[in-house]
């Protein structure tokens, strides 16, 4: 048979878990906006880095292609 202390303990645990569940509210809108902003910033930085790297490679290739080997005949 369930005694008074057991009923009280169950009621107390039930009330505390219900209160805890009500108190935890996460607003994911701000989190989503923050993640999206960081992602966009990262993509812009990656695009800039890629452009710089490609420009450096193209300049190096152009320099290599325009090199003229001059041999002096004696």
Q: What mean pLDDT comes out for the span 42-49?
A: 94
Checking if the pLDDT of 47 tops 70, the result is yes
Length of the chain measured in residues: 74
Residue 46: what pLDDT? 94
Residue 66: what pLDDT? 75
User: Tens digits of per-residue pLDDT, 10-29?
Assistant: 877 777 665 444 566 677 88
C-alpha R_g of the chain: 34
Q: SS3 for 27?
A: coil
């Amino acid at each position: 048979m369930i005694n008074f202390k057991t009923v009280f303990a169950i009621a107390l645990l039930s009330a505390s878990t219900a209160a805890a569940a009500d108190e935890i509210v996460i607003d994911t809108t701000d989190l989503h906006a923050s993640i999206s902003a960081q992602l966009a910033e990262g993509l812009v930085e990656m695009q800039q880095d890629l452009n710089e790297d490609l420009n450096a490679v193209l300049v190096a290739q152009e320099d290599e292609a325009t090199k003229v080997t001059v041999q002096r005949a004696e």
